[in-house]
A and B are shown apart, each in its own frame.
Chain A
Amino acid sequence: MRRTRLLVVAVIMIGSALACVIAACSAPAQPVRAPVPAAEPGQDQVSRGRQLYGSGCAGCHGQRAEGTGQAPALVGVGGADIDYMIASGRMPLTSPNARPERRPPSYGSRDRAALVAYISSLGAGGPEIPQLPPGDARSGRDLYLTNCAACHGSGGAGGTLPGGQVAPRILGVPGQQVAEAIRVGPGLMPPFGSSTLTDQQAADIVAYVGAMPDSAEHGGWDLGGLGPAAEGLIGWGLGLGTLLVVIRLLGKKAPK
């Protein structure tokens, strides 16, 4: 009777632990988005972009992308920045106070190109969408560890920045967005221009980031790439926890 009770307790504990893990890993509910207006016939790219900008961006960024109190100016930030923000789903924000975070993108690739074309037509300046040659993951590994690992982690799991900010997880991010982020330096990230990292070097880093998922779980469940802190919790919880249950079942209780 006692042993059955112990087994039930053990099963409940392991079950709730698994439930917590699954809950933590599952994506939060997606907020409802405003529908994208349909394209008009005979539109060219820039006017499609103007139409989309007017419905989706002008409210915060101003009618001529000149910026408002709520959002910065987009004139002259460069095509790479716009493309990155839209492709990664960070923009448009779901609410004015939301934090820009990776989400499923609101616009398809054609609409995105239209927006880039429109905003670029307002003024030139920042880096354009990078066209990088094929890269070599071996050189990229070295460059990544020197320039990127401090904030994004050796395994691309992301890192903590001051002020409650986060360097996001980059494992699994599409190569084009990695390349754009390198050149743009979005948010708190410093930009790496062509003189700091040549096109080939940036391409190498993109190749390495693309190759990371192949070996990210070579040894099994990677615990989110969090390292020894997570390993210690698993060691105590699953390791010692299981063995404590075994010990309790094998040994006797205190004598009366």
Chain B
Amino acid sequence: MILPRLVGRKVGEEIDGRLRLAKVARHSVAKVFPDHWSFMLGELALYSFTILVGTGLFLTMFFDGSSAERAYDGSYGPLHGAQTSAAYASTVEISFDVRAGLLVRQVHHWAALLFLAAIMVHLCRNFFTGSFRRPRDVNWLVGVTLLIMATANGFLGYSLPDDLLSGTGLRIISGGLLSIPVIGSWLTFLLFGGPFPGTALEQRMYATHVLIVPAAIAVLISIHVVIILRQKHTQFAGRGRNQTNVVGSRVWPTYAFRSLSLFCAALAVCAALGGLVQINPVWIWGPFHADAVTSPAQPDWYIGWVEGALRLFPPWEFRVFGYLVPAPFWPAIVLPVLTFLIMYCYPWLERRFTGDRAEHHILQRVRDVPGRVAVGVWAIAFLIMLEIGGATDLIARFSRQPVIGVVWFLRIGVLVLPVLAGMIALWVTRRLRASHAPHLADLPVAGLRRRPSRVRKGSSDDIARFGPGVADHAEVDAEDAPDPDRVAGP
């Protein structure tokens, strides 16, 4: 019991003797983080990434990222002796002949699904509470870039085994890239090293998935965290909380332990899913051949919105100066580019609309920003409708309806339902604000019939519509001032 502490003290002395860390360490240990539960979503994404890197390191020892053909000689009977790419053969070998290989593979893939889900929920939290406002707009840019990198790496990752299902997805991407006017063919041939599928693709995907994008993600995450440390985390309004302080628990030991617990929970969930629920069984899908296909054919969920757009978008092609602009251009290229462009620009778009250029460290409650909530709910509903659109064949099968009926229903639905959802969200948020009910569940029925009153604070009509956080102007009472003995140093 004493020995580790003595060793630890000695090691600490030696390091400090070389780097003079005591003051920095004291400062870091005493840092205060507000501990609302929704602030842990970003950590969840970080821990999922850590799990991905850890399991990925194991997998990279066994996976052969090459399209060179070789005979499979592992223990999966139906594939024995078949000539497949080294990538496919090594993936099936990991799944059958490497001890714990399938567990690590499945944990890796489940962690990827979790990574993207955590990023999206984290993004929603930041969006609805207005934490992307100045000075954190720059961190919002870093975050959106992380989302794009994570999506790309996920797609590359499940395409690496060169199986029939993911190869079909690669074909669709190549069809989408080809549809870009003027440069489409050249861009596709450049990336694929020739016509689809070619032999260069596997190697390029491997290097990108294992080295280039993870390095970029690691750098971006570091920047993301450093910015948070420099600016300090935002917090919700409340007693004793204002624009010039941070109230919460200290990094050491409380916040660290809580965060560690979350990390272990993420590991537990990934391990349970990885062991109990099969994911991406490539030995069943079979090796990729460009003239074969399997159905149902869906991508991983975070690409599902593009897939849904491709299925729902009408067959509109036209010619520009006699040159063809094919149908996939709009759903596969224009939609994602526009989406991410708007996401990047959103802080400045909203700033232009509200005229709010001040620095904000207090978060807004959802009820304070009905306009933004309407936009956000519209976007989420639109995304969900597109995701559903990506599974039209499954819906048709289980509802026993013709596919074309499902497609038409969703084509109209994707235009109408998100608008409806946004309008309902706007109405509910305004009622919530007007009624001052503490919870949505406490919103009295009478409050629903009351017409919304004008916001009592706010200078211009625009600010009144979107509403600055009422708590931005919260005062700190003398009695509510925090205990001076507990103030951590600057």
- The reply to whether B269 and A154 form a contact with Cβ atoms under 8 Å apart is no
- Interface 1/0s, chain A 23-36, versus B by CB < 8 A? 00000000000000
Q: Which residues of B contact A166 (CB under 8 A)?
A: 397, 400
A234 contacts B by Cβ under 8 Å = yes
Q: How far is the CA of A73 from the CA of B106 in the complex (A)?
A: 51
Q: A141-B79, A164-B402, A211-B77 are in contact. Are A221 and B278 (CB under 8 A)?
A: yes
B144 contacts A by Cβ under 8 Å = no
Closest Cβ of chain A to B295, distance in Å, is: 4
- The reply to whether B114 and A235 form a contact with Cβ atoms under 8 Å apart is yes
Q: Which residues of A contact B365 (CB under 8 A)?
A: 254
Q: A137-B78, A141-B82, A235-B301 are in contact. Are A246 and B293 (CB under 8 A)?
A: no
Binds B, one of A51-59, A111-119, A176-184, A224-232: A224-232
Q: How far is the CA of A146 from the CA of B287 in the complex (A)?
A: 11
- The reply to whether B78 and A251 form a contact with Cβ atoms under 8 Å apart is no
Binds B, one of A61-69, A89-97, A212-220: A212-220
A142, A153, A229: the one within 8 Å of B390 (CB): A229
- The reply to whether A246 and B114 form a contact with Cβ atoms under 8 Å apart is no
Q: How far is the CA of A163 from the CA of B391 in the complex (A)?
A: 16
- The reply to whether B275 and A220 form a contact with Cβ atoms under 8 Å apart is yes
Binds B, one of A14-22, A37-45, A123-131, A236-244: A236-244
Q: A162-B403, A250-B40 are in contact. Are A150 and B113 (CB under 8 A)?
A: no
A255 contacts B by Cβ under 8 Å = yes
Question: In residues 167-197 of chain A, which contact B (Cβ within 8 Å)?
Answer: none
B258, B283, B286, B291: the one within 8 Å of A218 (CB): B283
Q: Which residues of B contact A146 (CB under 8 A)?
A: 289, 291-292
Q: How far is the CA of A138 from the CA of B286 in the complex (A)?
A: 12
Which size bracket describes the interface of B in this complex?
Answer: 35 or more
Name, among B165, B262, B278, B393, the residue most crowded by chain A CB atoms within 10 Å (CB to CB): B278
Q: Which residues of A contact B291 (CB under 8 A)?
A: 146
B39, B269, B298: the one within 8 Å of A251 (CB): B39
B453 contacts A by Cβ under 8 Å = no
- The reply to whether A160 and B394 form a contact with Cβ atoms under 8 Å apart is yes
Which residues from chain A sit less than 8 Å from chain B, CB to CB?
Answer: 99, 137-138, 140-142, 145-146, 149-151, 153-155, 157-160, 162-164, 166, 208, 211-212, 214-223, 225-229, 231-236, 238-240, 242-244, 246-248, 250-256
Given pairs A228-B165, A252-B35, A253-B37, 6 additional interface contacts (CB within 8 A): A154-B294, A157-B296, A160-B394, A222-B281, A235-B114, A251-B35
Which residues from chain B sit less than 8 Å from chain A, CB to CB?
Answer: 35-41, 44, 76-82, 95-96, 102, 106, 110, 113-114, 117-118, 121, 164-165, 235-239, 241, 247, 258, 261-262, 265-266, 269-270, 273, 275-281, 283-286, 289, 291-301, 304, 365, 387, 390-391, 393-394, 396-397, 400-405
What would 10 A/B residue contacts be, using CB atoms closer than 8 Å?
A159-B393, A164-B400, A216-B284, A219-B277, A229-B298, A231-B113, A239-B113, A247-B37, A254-B236, A256-B238
